[in-house]
Structure 1
Amino acid sequence: MKTSKDAPATSLLDYPRPSVAVDTAVLTVADGSLQVLLVRRGGEHHHGERALPGTFLRERERLSDAVLRSLREKAGISGRVPRQLHVFDEPERDDRGWVLSVAHVDVVPLAELEGALKSDGVRLAFVGGEPEVVAGLPYGHAEIVGKAVEWLRAAYAEAPDPGALLEEPFTLKDLRELHEVVAGHSLMRDTFRRFMEPQLTGTGQMSDGTRGRPSRLWVRASVS
């Protein structure tokens, strides 16, 4: 015989429910360094501090719509399609209460962020050059940035500039220097060339030689 303790819940309201947030790590390369976009927080908690652009999920709202809304309203960014990165569910991660964060990531060329960076509330922070900034982010955002960088480095280890940070066409030297910034260390020139060249399409043109000797120009190979 079932007791009241064993009886199934009759309503979803019988279960404790966390708040659900979306937070997006927008990564780019600027001044020869990997950087992440931060916004100034409003509201009562951590007012004026920097954090990733994010928001709480509204009733009946899709996660993807909440992400786009937060980027538009908090950072002035639109026209992007961030990808879902990871669900951060540590119960104590947010000092405001029990909050799950469905983290997203986007890789954006610096030129596409120029409009957003004109706002006083938006800035870039060096992922490796300002550890006190990233490590001090509220709401567990430092962990999100770390996961986003991990994902980005794995993607760049497998393909030439998958985030399209370089303007085409480019030289192999340009490409390698970008990949070194993302990787955070130098790469063997010949090994890099042998791995990346088959994934590129030559333009049949040469660089103008303003940065050393003229070199072959390439574009990212289209995926069929």
Structure 2
Amino acid sequence: MKTSKDVPATSLLDYPRPSVAVDTAVLTVAHGSLQVLLVRRGEEHHHGEWALPGTFLRERERLADAVLRSLREKAGISGRVPRQLHVFDDPERDDRGWVLSVAHVDVVPVVALEDALKSDGIRLASVSGEPQLITELPYGHAEIVAKAVEWIRAVYAESPDPGALLVEPFTLKELRDVHEIVAGASLMRDTFRRFMEPQLTGTGQMSDGTRGRPSRLWRRQQKHYS
């Protein structure tokens, strides 16, 4: 009869191990559409193609630290706190081998991306206006973009501009315009106002009327998505 001493000890090295990557969908609103930030790959594999900023996890590195490193080194973005979105684990998603991607997402005002976008290797792509470019992204990144769009539309349906894309203060019309761009659809004015207004704080001021008649100005009660 075998005892526990007769059973070989199991090591972590006895199990197959995938590589682990992090990829981040940085979303913004620009030129009247919802856009995602892409970087041109400088690596030999898929060299010159556009992709989401990402990297492989280093030994003993935290996921959040790898995300910040990739945004800083690949996209020139710092000072952000992206949130974890989803784990993409299709064994065939990456043509280099077995790679899990822990995808992240962040919503960034376009003004905060101006310096990064000065680089020829960084651009914005409309998630609906450039479908072929998005579809042809390598490493299953199109699926990550789709999941990120699904997420941002869900959070924007619940609260006013949780990604702080608008500069405060703003009018309800400006707020609805941003929400319509994110939603990719028109929103009923009165329904939108009734749902969002209780989540806003009035400033007691009016817009100057340079873009339409003067309107009340508001601030968010909630500063950012949770």
TM-score category of the 2 structures, normalised to the smaller one: over 0.9
> How many corresponding residue pairs?
221
Q: Partners in 2 of 1:87 and 1:56 — Cα distance?
A: 14
Question: 1:222: Cα distance to partner?
Answer: 4.3
Do residues 159 (structure 1) and 170 (structure 2) align? no
User: CA offset at residue 68 of structure 1?
Assistant: 0.2
- CA distance in 2: counterparts of 1:73 and 1:9, whole angstroms: 41
Q: Which amino acid in the other structure matches residue 109 of structure 2?
A: P
Q: Is 2:221 the partner of 1:221?
A: yes
**Aligned-residue offset at 1:42:** 1.7
CA RMSD of aligned residues (A): 1.5
Pair 1:180-2:180 in alignment: yes
Letter in 2 for 1:192: F
Amino acid at match of 1:100: L
Give the direction of change, closer, same or farther, for the CA distance of 1:45–1:217 in structure 2 (3 Å limit): same
- 2:119 matches 1:105: no
Shift of 1:8: 6.5
**How high is the TM-score relative to the length of structure 2?**
0.95
Deviation digits for residues 135-185 of structure 1 (CA, Å, limit 9, x no counterpart): 000000000000000000000000000000000000000000000000000
- Residue 156 of structure 2 aligns to a residue whose secondary structure is helix
The equivalences for 1:124-143 within 5 A come to: 124-143=124-143
Question: 1:120 aligns to what?
Answer: 120
Equivalents in 2 of 1:64, 1:212: separation in Å? 44
Q: Matches of 1:131 and 1:221 in 2, distance apart?
A: 35
Offset at 1:211?
Answer: 1.1
Matched to 1:135, the amino acid is T
Structure 1: gaps spanning 5 or more residues? none
- Percent identical: 85
Counterpart Cα distance in 2 of 1:196 and 1:20: 40
Unaligned runs of 5+ in 2: none
Maintained 8 Å contact 2:22/2:101: yes
Shift of 1:221: 1.1
Q: Which runs of 4+ in 1 moved over 4 A?
A: none
Looking at structure 2, the residues matched to 15 and 130 of structure 1 have their Cα atoms a distance apart, in angstroms, of 41
Q: Deviations over 1:112-148 (max 9, x none)?
A: 0001000110000000000001000000000000000
2:51 corresponds in structure 1 to 51
* Amino acid across the alignment from 2:172: L
Q: Please state whether the residue corresponding to 1:163 is helix, strand or coil.
A: coil
Q: Which residue number in structure 2 is paired with residue 36 of structure 1?
A: 36
The one-letter code sitting in structure 2 at the alignment partner of 1:18 is P
Relative to structure 1, the CA distance from residue 200 to residue 12 in structure 2 (aligned partners, 3 Å threshold; closer, same or farther) is: same
Q: Quick one: distance in 2 between partners of 1:58 and 1:141?
A: 21
Deviation at 1:9, TM superposition (A): 5.6
